[in-house]
Amino acid sequence: MTFYALTFALLGVGLYGLLAKRNMLKKVLGLVILEYAVNLLLVAVGYRAGRGAPILQPGEDPAAFVAGSVDPLPQVLVLTSIVIGLGATMLLMAMVLRLHQRYGTLDVDRMDRLKG
C-alpha cells in the first residue's frame, strides 16, 4: 500500500512540474517523471510478493510456474510504454530546442504569441 501511495505521490510531482513550471525544460522533466510514475505503477500492479521472475524452465510444472512467478503482462506493457514515452520526449526536446533558438528564452510566458 505504501508503495502505491508513493507512486501516486510521484505522479503528483510530475503533474506539478508539467503544469505549474514556466521553464520548458522543467515541464519536460515533469512529463518524464509523470511517465515513469505510470510505468512504476504498472510494474507494481503485476508484482506478487515473494515470487520469482516469470521465465518458464524446460520441464517445469506449469501450475507451479503460474503460482510461483509474478504477472509478466504489465512488464510487457511497460516496455511498450517506455518506447512511446521516449518518442514523445524526443519530439518535445526537439521543439524546446527550436523554440529556444527562436526566442532565446525557455520561459513559456515570454514567448506566447498565440492569441486565445
Partner 1 sequence: MGAYLPLFVALPLLAGFACLLLKRAAPRAAPWLSVASMLGLLALAAVAVARRDAGVTFAGGWGVSGWGGNGGADDVVFVVGIALVLDGLSRLFLLLVALVGTASAVYALRYLEPEAGRPLFHVLFNLLVAGMNGALLAGDLFNLYVFVEVASIASYGLVAYRTGGTEIEAAFKYLVLGTLASTAILVGVTVLYAATGYLNMADLGVAIAGGAVPRLPLLFAAALFLFGFGTKTAAMPFHAWLPDAHPSAPAPISAMLSGLLIKTLGIYALARVFFVVVGADEQVRLILTLLGCLSMWGGVLLAQAQDDLKRILAYHSVSQMGYVLIAFGVGTWLGVAAGLFHAVNHALFKSALFLSSGSLERLTGTRRLSEMGGIFRRAPATSVGLVGACLSIAGIPPFNGFWSKLLILIALVSAGQPVVALLAAGAALMTLVTFVKVQRKAVFGALPARLANAREVPAAMYLPVLALVVLCLLSGLLWPLGVDGVIGAAASSLRAGAGERPAASEYIESVHGRGSR
**Chain positions contacting partner 1, by CB under 8 A:** 11, 15, 18, 24, 27, 31, 34-35, 38, 41-42, 45, 62, 73-74, 77, 80-81, 84, 87-88, 91-92, 95-96, 98-99, 102-103, 111-114, 116
The x, y and z cell numbers of residue 64, run together, are: 507451479
What's the per-residue H, E or C state across the chain? CHHHHHHHHHHHHHHHHHHHCCEHHHHHHHHHHHHHHHHHHHHHHHCCCCCECCCCCCCCCHHHHHHHECCCHHHHHHHHHHHHHHHHHHHHHHHHHHHHHHHCCCEHHHCCCCCC
> Cβ closer to partner 1: 13 or 92?
92
> Cβ closer to partner 1: 52 or 94?
94
Q: State the nearest-atom distance from the C-beta of 50 to partner 1, in Å.
A: 19
Q: State the nearest-atom distance from the C-beta of 63 to partner 1, in Å.
A: 9
> Cβ closer to partner 1: 67 or 73?
73
